[in-house]
């Protein structure tokens, strides 16, 4: 009898979660500016079902919600939404249920989001846009170039001289399919990590309200990049350079892509290092620390300091956070 009661309770909760998912998807479809909010709300019911019951309950809610949305609105919208909120919710639910650390959970969810973004792009390129992968990338290049041209026309109409907008024109020359392909992995990586971080914070607050134990999110000042990750990226970069020097075309792509990712890794660690110093050593408030970090981005003379600081922190383990440092600090 108790087993039947648990099953009925699970079915009721699945039905409620399916209703919530379907309503949120439809709201984001009819009111586009809510899409950003819906992106963080949709995985929570799936995560909750996974934690309260199991992955079968979570998958059932995703499946039924997808079918319901497909009938009411659009099969494509239903599938693409299910991919993103489903894979995010399942990965988050798995990590929370198995009591993973917040840092490991954020990385795991970010990887899931990367996979979801890739699948979504393929669905868009092959079934919605129907231009294929190359055609969709060329479309991104054309759209971006057109946006820059409109901005230049606006600047000229406002009385800005040709000399003043010359740097923008030079920058437009870099908007090519090859450069877009090289930078897309970094953009996906950055956006996925940010989304995973925000998703975890929101889910943590919801779960605390529901009296569930969730590992408290690691402060940004204690974020660090293991030196092994940097070493692997540098190894890939060197391999790309070697292939490029031998005239193998993919070498250029590997070099450019890895260069952007490595730069992001150094900057991310560098920002965390500076926040650590400002908050823990100099005892500045959170607001003052963030203001100083933003100023660092705004001043060209300081634009490279985060990358340098990040590289030094990874190599020298300045904050002593890496459990497997290159050198031991006594």
Which listed CATH number (1.10.1760.20, 1.10.10.10, 3.40.50.10790, 3.40.50.920) goes with 1-137+177-218?
A: 1.10.1760.20
* E strands present in the chain: none
Q: What is the pLDDT of residue 301?
A: 66
pLDDT digits (tens, 9 = 90+) for 286-300: 888 889 888 887 776
Model pLDDT for residues 122-179, shown as the tens digit of each residue: 887 777 777 777 778 888 878 877 877 887 777 777 777 777 677 777 777 777 777 7
pLDDT beyond 70 at 270:
yes
7, 57 in Cβ contact below 8 A?
A: no
Crossing angle between the packed helical segments 305-316 and 249-276, to the nearest 10 degrees:
80
Q: How many CA atoms lie within 13 A of 78 on its CB side?
A: 17
Percent of the chain with pLDDT over 70: 92
pLDDT at residue 2 is higher than 50: no
The residues, ordered by sequence, that sit 6+ positions from 267 with a Cβ below 8 Å of its Cβ are 306, 307, 310
Q: How far is CA 10 from CA 22, 32, 107, 213, in A?
A: 18, 32, 29, 20
Write out pLDDT tens, residues 235-265. Answer: 999 999 999 888 888 888 899 889 999 999 9
Q: What residue segments make up the domains of the chain, in order of their start?
A: 1-137+177-218, 219-330
Q: What length is written for the chain?
A: 330
Q: What is the 8-class DSSP label of residue 330? A: -
Kindly report the three-state secondary structure assignment for every residue of 127-175. HHCCCHHHHHHHHHHHHHHHHHHHHHHHHHHCCCCHHHHHHHHHHHCCC
- The more confident residue out of 83 and 303 is 83
Confidence of residue 74 (pLDDT cuts 50, 70, 90): confident
- Give CA separation, 188 vs 44, 150, 270, in Å: 22, 26, 20
Mean pLDDT, residues 64-74 taken together: 80
What is the model's pLDDT at position 330? 52
Please give the residue that has the higher pLDDT: either 314 or 173.
314
Instruction: List C-alpha distances in Å: 38 to 29, 187, 240.
Output: 10, 21, 39
């Amino acid at each position: 009898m108790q087993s039947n009661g648990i099953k009925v309770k699970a079915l009721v909760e699945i039905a409620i979660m399916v209703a919530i998912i379907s309503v949120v998807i439809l709201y984001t479809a009819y009111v586009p500016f809510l899409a950003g909010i819906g992106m963080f709300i949709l995985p929570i019911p799936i995560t909750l079902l996974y934690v309260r019951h199991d992955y079968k309950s979570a998958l059932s809610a995703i499946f039924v919600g997808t079918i319901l949305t497909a009938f009411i609105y659009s099969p494509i919208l239903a599938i693409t939404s299910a991919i993103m909120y489903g894979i995010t919710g399942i990965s988050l639910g798995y990590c929370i249920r198995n009591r993973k650390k917040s840092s490991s959970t954020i990385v795991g969810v970010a990887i899931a989001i990367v996979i979801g973004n890739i699948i979504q792009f393929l669905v868009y390129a092959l079934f919605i846009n129907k231009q294929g992968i190359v055609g969709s990338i060329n479309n991104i290049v054309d759209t971006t170039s057109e946006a820059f041209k409109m901005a230049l026309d606006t600047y000229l109409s406002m009385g800005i001289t040709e000399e003043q907008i010359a740097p923008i024109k030079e920058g437009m020359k870099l908007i090519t399919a090859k450069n877009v392909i090289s930078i897309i992995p970094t953009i996906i990586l950055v956006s996925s990590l940010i989304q995973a971080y925000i998703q975890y914070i929101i889910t943590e607050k919801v779960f605390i309200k529901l009296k569930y134990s969730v590992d408290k999110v690691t402060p940004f000042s204690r974020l660090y990049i293991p030196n092994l990750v940097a070493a692997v990226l540098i190894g890939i970069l060197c391999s790309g350079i070697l292939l490029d020097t031998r005239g193998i075309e993919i070498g250029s792509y590997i070099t450019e892509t890895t260069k952007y990712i490595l730069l992001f890794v150094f900057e991310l660690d560098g920002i965390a290092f500076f926040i650590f110093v400002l908050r823990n050593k100099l005892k500045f408030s959170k607001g003052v620390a963030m203001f100083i970090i933003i100023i660092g981005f705004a001043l060209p003379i300081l634009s490279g300091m985060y990358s340098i600081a990040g590289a030094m922190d990874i190599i020298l383990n300045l904050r002593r956070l890496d459990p497997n440092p290159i050198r031991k600090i006594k």
